[in-house]
Amino acid sequence: MKPSADRKIKFFGCSLDCDEKYDSIQDKLHIMKTAEDFYDPLDGVMASLSIDIPTGLWDNTGTLSIPTWLGPKPLPGDRPKISTENFISFIDGNGCRKTADAADRFVTERILPHIPCLIGIDHSVTGGVFSALSRYYGCADISLIIIDSHTDAIPMSALSGAVQYDAETNPSSVHDLNDPFLYNRPDSYNAATFVHSLIAEKQVDPENLYFIGVSDYPEIKSLRIKDARIKKYTQSFVRLKDLGAKIITKKDCKLNPGKIKGFLSKISTPYVYVSVDMDIGAGNALEGVRFRNWKGLDESQIYKIAGMVRQVLSGSIRLAGMDICEIDPRRAGLTYPSGTDQTYKIAANLIKKIAFN
């Protein structure tokens, strides 16, 4: 179903960027000295999108308020707060959950019954948008399609344990075994775990959950590792599939794209929510994303997936909402040896295809 005068696409932004990694912190410390530019990804996407879409089909409803130290470009006065310890404290203290709850209220109070489209950074905010829609339409009547290099459904304790194992056994690991933040992490709600929370809180039925393009699905050989930490990690994926979730890896997308169409054809709910993590094209189609630990799909492959998603919406199934997340506005649109980054353009094209056909 296309947007219409009585059911518009309502865009809104959330520039939460609580990435605790060293490189991100150094980027923030450096960028706070520079002139203002696109540091709310909503602005960057809308600049690429709004000239092509009739104004009667959409509205820009603004951006959620975020403390400046938690945004992609902190103010000079925020410098004392920009540290790994503070970002970890925010995440482990369920700061991401509080922001997602604010997004839930925003959608409930200012957007529904229209179609929300979040343009954001931290993917955890998606959980708030989806929760509002699940409550509005009913959990049994809405499917969740996530296009992402990461599954975002693994408890923090399982994830941190796998990272510890990698630091111990992998000579080329990017992780530091002496990093105190690898240990004793609570199972908080964050960008890597929000889908796990949606399942646990019965906001989404796993039978109506579709992951497309993941790169973190365990290899078969990892299932033979006896270390308890790896077993906990791999069993988290096994449980997801046992519950009925459909997981399509990046390898599947490249070698067997028909598998995507086959899975999506099983959707029977009257509503669908589509979440796109732009790292699906990291290091290949685009550069302007936060997490680049896996090389993503190329532009044509991403559009092919979007086309298959759009086919699901060509009949009686309606789009309940969508989002584009994990944009890094400090990198998006810059010029690299391979050319000018196309993150904003590709994000806008995905919205045109999925939301406006």
Q: Identify the pLDDT of residue 291.
A: 87
Q: Report whether 297 contacts 254 (CB < 8 A).
A: yes
Confidence of residue 3 (pLDDT cuts 50, 70, 90): low
Output the pTM of the full model: 0.94
The answer for residues whose C-beta is within 8 angstroms of residue 178's C-beta and 6 or more apart is none
Residue 161: per-residue pLDDT: 87
**Would you say how long the chain is, in residues?**
357
pLDDT band at 36 (very low <50, low <70, confident <90, very high): low
Residue ranges of domains in the chain: 9-356
pLDDT at site 233: 92
CATH superfamily of the domain spanning 9-356: Ureohydrolase domain (3.40.800.10)
Select the more confidently predicted residue: 240 or 35: 240
Report the pLDDT averaged over residues 115-127. 98
pLDDT of residue 40: 92
Rg (alpha carbons) of the chain, rounded to whole number: 19
Residue 19 pLDDT greater than 70, yes or no: yes
Band the pLDDT of 292: cuts 50, 70, 90.
confident
Average pLDDT over residues 219-223: 86
- What are the residues whose beta carbons fall under 8 Å from the beta carbon of 203, sequence distance 6 or more? 127, 130, 131, 134, 135, 139, 197
* Both structure tokens of 309: 């998603």
Closest CA to 242 of 206, 204, 195: 206
Residue 157: pLDDT over 70? yes
Q: What percent of the chain lies above the pLDDT cut of 90?
A: 75
Angstrom CA distances, 271 to 138, 215, 232, 312, stand at 10, 27, 33, 10
Three-state SS for the chain is: CCCECCECEEEEEECCCCCCCHHHHHHHHHHCCCCCCCCCHHHHHHHHHCCCCCHHHEEEEEECCCCHHHCCCCCHHHHHHCCHHHHHHHHHCCHHHHHHHHHHHHHHHHHCCCEEEEEECCCCHHHHHHHHHHHHHCHHHEEEEEECCCCCCCCHHHHHHHHHHHHHHCCCCCCCCCCHHHCCCCCCCCCCCHHHHHHHCCCCCHHHEEEEEECCCCCHHHHHCCCHHHHHHHHHHHHHHHHCCEEEEHHHHHHCCHHHHHHHCCCCCCEEEEEEEHHHHECCCECCECCCCCCCCCHHHHHHHHHHHHHHCCCCCEEEEEEEECECCCCCCCEECCEECCHHHHHHHHHHHHHHC
pLDDT higher than threshold 60 for residue 135: yes
Main-chain phi, psi angles of 48, to 5 degrees: -85, -15
In this prediction, residues 270-279 reach a mean pLDDT of 97
Range 70-93 average pLDDT: 94
- Cβ 246 vs Cβ 293: under 8 Å: no
Rounded mean pLDDT of 25-34? Answer: 88
Is residue 209 predicted with pLDDT exceeding 90?
A: yes
Nearest to 241 by CA among 223, 226, 221, 229: 223
The mean predicted confidence, pLDDT, of the chain is 92
Angle at 82 between CA 189 and CA 104, to 5 degrees: 30
pLDDT of amino acid 96:
97
Q: What is the pLDDT of residue 2?
A: 58
Average pLDDT on 120-135 reads 98
pLDDT digits (tens, 9 = 90+) for 47-62: 988 778 888 899 999 9
pLDDT at 206 over 60: yes
Residue 276 has pLDDT above 90, yes or no: yes
Q: Is the pLDDT of residue 9 over 70?
A: yes
Mean pLDDT of 241-262: 94
Q: What is the pLDDT of residues 100-118, one digit of tens each?
A: 999 999 999 999 999 999 9
